[in-house]
């Protein structure tokens, strides 16, 4: 697959993972076939994405205009919030529901962290971070800064920002270097006092089993779950691109916050294996807020990087 294909796959596979996991959210880990069954907390139609992708689209739409302006992205978050979505994380709901304007978001998130320091490190920032890498491909410092600023719009715990930095850099490496281990490169971009903690977390995820990373509402555990699903799922020798679907199913099988873990994993898997690796049936089924389908996500990805397939 080409770099263009990998760019196209980043948002597309985020949404695929999200829609795949939606029907199993907070239920028992599925034993039989995993598919886009719909239902879940929404309930959602088969193939419909949830808050994970909807918030990523808010970032992507602004990024497609040439920047990652946090106020503009905050306005997109608030527009989505005011549409009365059927599913939303607790921290995100608390922050978005407490402000009148986008410029108040980061302050509200910081105030919530001060009041409830154990409640501001959920996975709701990590789930939407995939567009950040597209906006700054090849510029680690800009990716890291953007990932952290956007995380802090709703999640002020530094661990939430760390997780977004790690995953955004991993997506950059997957797109530009066809690697699935780029998360390790990002450790150098974290504050020194937290690097060892994250190194241990990544070692644990690589050691498995993936099932140990449930529940996974905490941003550290969510990243571990997605990383474990990817790293512990074998890459088929004859059809390596099938790893995308296999690892997404593995992410859902971990259980708990299935749509979010699979969406996080999907961003990296799509960045590595490309849009062409997404099963055609899943791609056709995709749809969601604000009236988009899978082809709109591909269009957005190309608009962010100012590129077209060629």
Taking alpha carbons only, the member of 169, 170, 180, 130 closest to residue 150 is: 130
85 lies in a domain?
Answer: yes
Per-residue pLDDT reduced to its tens digit, 30-56: 778 999 999 998 889 999 999 999 999
How many angstroms separate the CA atoms of 301 and 47, rounded?
20
* Cα angle for residues 105, 166, 126 (degrees, 5° grid): 40
| DSSP assignment string, 156-198 | -SHHHHHHHHHHHHHHHHHHHH--S-GGGGGGGGS-HHHHHHH
Asked whether the predicted pLDDT for residue 310 surpasses 50, the reply is no
Asked whether the predicted pLDDT for residue 309 surpasses 50, the reply is no
What is the pLDDT averaged over residues 278-288? 98
Question: What residues make up the domain containing 69?
Answer: 3-305
How many angstroms separate the CA atoms of 18 and 267, rounded?
10
Taking alpha carbons only, the member of 156, 149, 138, 153 closest to residue 80 is: 153
Q: How confident is the model at residue 28 (pLDDT cuts 50, 70, 90)?
A: low
- Res 82: pLDDT: 97
18 lies in a domain?
Answer: yes
310 lies in a domain?
Answer: no
Q: How confident is the model at residue 131 (pLDDT cuts 50, 70, 90)?
A: very high
What is the pLDDT averaged over residues 202-207? 98
Give residue for tokens 């879940």: 40
131 lies in a domain?
Answer: yes
Per-residue pLDDT reduced to its tens digit, 232-258: 999 999 999 999 999 999 999 999 999
Per-residue pLDDT reduced to its tens digit, 284-295: 999 999 999 999
What is the pLDDT averaged over residues 69-92? 96
- Res 150: pLDDT: 98
The domain total for the chain is 1
3-state secondary structure 18-68: HHHHHCCCCCCCCCCCCCCCCECCCCECCCECCHHHHHHHHHHHHHCCCCC
276 lies in a domain?
Answer: yes
What is the pLDDT averaged over residues 158-170? 98
194 lies in a domain?
Answer: yes
Task: Provide the whole-model pTM.
Answer: 0.97
Q: What percent of the chain clears pLDDT 70, i.e. is strictly above it?
A: 98
229 lies in a domain?
Answer: yes
How many angstroms separate the CA atoms of 18 and 165, rounded?
20
Q: How confident is the model at residue 118 (pLDDT cuts 50, 70, 90)?
A: confident
Q: What percent of the chain clears pLDDT 90, i.e. is strictly above it?
A: 94
Tell me the CATH number at 69: 1.10.4080.10
- Res 31: pLDDT: 73
Taking alpha carbons only, the member of 111, 83, 108, 113 closest to residue 96 is: 108
- CA terminus-to-terminus distance, the chain: 12
282 lies in a domain?
Answer: yes
What is the chain's mean pLDDT, rounded?
A: 96
- Res 4: pLDDT: 97
Asked whether the predicted pLDDT for residue 210 surpasses 60, the reply is yes
């Amino acid at each position: 697959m080409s770099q263009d294909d990998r760019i196209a796959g980043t948002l597309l596979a985020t949404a695929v993972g999200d829609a795949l996991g939606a029907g199993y959210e907070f239920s028992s880990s599925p034993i039989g076939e995993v598919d886009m069954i719909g239902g879940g907390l929404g309930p959602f139609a088969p193939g419909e994405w949830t808050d994970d992708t909807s918030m990523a689209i808010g970032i992507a739409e602004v990024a497609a205009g040439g920047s990652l302006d946090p106020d503009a992205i905050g306005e997109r978050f608030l527009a989505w919030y005011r549409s009365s979505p059927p599913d939303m994380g607790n921290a995100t709901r608390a922050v978005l529901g407490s402000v009148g304007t986008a410029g108040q978001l980061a302050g509200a998130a910081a105030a919530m962290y001060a009041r409830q320091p154990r409640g501001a490190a959920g996975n709701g920032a990590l789930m939407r971070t995939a567009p950040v890498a597209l906006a700054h491909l090849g510029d680690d410092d800009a990716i890291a800064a953007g990932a952290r600023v956007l995380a802090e719009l709703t999640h002020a715990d530094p661990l939430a920002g760390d997780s977004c930095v790690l995953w955004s850099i991993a997506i950059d490496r997957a797109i530009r270097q066809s690697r699935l281990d780029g998360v390790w490169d990002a450790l150098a971009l974290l504050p020194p006092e937290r690097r060892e903690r994250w190194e241990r977390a990544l070692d644990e995820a690589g050691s498995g089993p993936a099932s140990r990373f449930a529940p996974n509402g905490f941003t550290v555990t969510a990243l571990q779950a997605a990383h474990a699903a990817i790293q512990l799922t074998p890459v088929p020798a004859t059809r390596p691109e099938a790893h995308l679907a296999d690892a997404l199913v593995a992410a859902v099988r971990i259980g708990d916050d299935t749509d979010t873990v699979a969406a996080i994993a999907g961003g990296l898997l799509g960045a590595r294996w490309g849009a062409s690796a997404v099963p055609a049936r899943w791609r056709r089924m995709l749809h969601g807020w604000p009236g988009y389908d899978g082809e709109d996500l591909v269009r957005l990805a190309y608009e962010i990087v100012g590129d077209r397939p060629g």
